[in-house]
Structure 1
Amino acid sequence: MDAAGVTASIGSVGDAYDKALMESTIGLYKTELIKPQRPRKTLSQVEPATAEWIDWYCHPTTPR
């Protein structure tokens, strides 16, 4: 992990509270982008759609 510049979670073993925000975000991603647009068959189809969704999620122009 050090070579990638990634640090380990600061939560204790078995403690899900530090992962709740990430799990919620992944759930939104799947619900809003992946499941409604099935089937995406290749990585080249998923990558640009994911980049657009992340940009929208981080910089919303309309209320959710």
Structure 2
Amino acid sequence: MRASMSRRGNCYDNASIESFWGSLKNELIYHRRFATREQARLAIGEYIEMFYNRQRTQARLDYLSPAAFTQRFYLDHTAA
């Protein structure tokens, strides 16, 4: 199986994940030193689950967190 690759010169297919990595590095990684890989793994997992997905608001999601946006989406689409 080959990795998915965009056409040459198409910078948009990985834009969202590149944005996420930039946020992770700027908001967590560059401000801390980890003694072990396990400490880093736990801190990154906590950042993703507790902060990025549940608290951090995002402009592209109408200034909601991903969890709140998902909840609103399902409420809007199940209330018929």
**Common fold by TM > 0.5:** yes
Q: Once the two structures are superposed, what CA deviation does each residue of 1:15-54 show, in whole Å capped at 9, x if it has no partner? A: 21111111111010001110111x2132111011001110
- Matches of 2:47 and 2:30, distance apart in 1: 13
Instruction: Report SS of the residue matched to 2:43.
Output: helix
Q: How far did 1:14 drift?
A: 3.6
Q: Could you tell me the percent identity over the aligned residues?
A: 32
Name the Cα RMSD after superposition: 2.2
Separation of aligned partners in 2, 1:41 and 1:26: 21
With the length of structure 2 as denominator, give the TM-score of the two structures: 0.57
Return the TM-score normalized by structure 1: 0.69
Give the paired residue count. Answer: 57
Aligned to 1:52: 46
Counterpart in the other structure of 1:24: 19
Of Structure 1 and Structure 2, the greater helix share is in: 2
Instruction: Provide structure 1 residue ranges, at least 5 long, that are not aligned to the other structure.
Output: none
Classify 1:52/1:13 alpha carbon distance in 2 versus 1 (closer, same or farther; 3 Å).
same
Unpaired segments of 5 or more residues in structure 2?
59-80
The structure with higher relative contact order (CA 8 Å, sep 6+) is 1
Larger Rg: 2
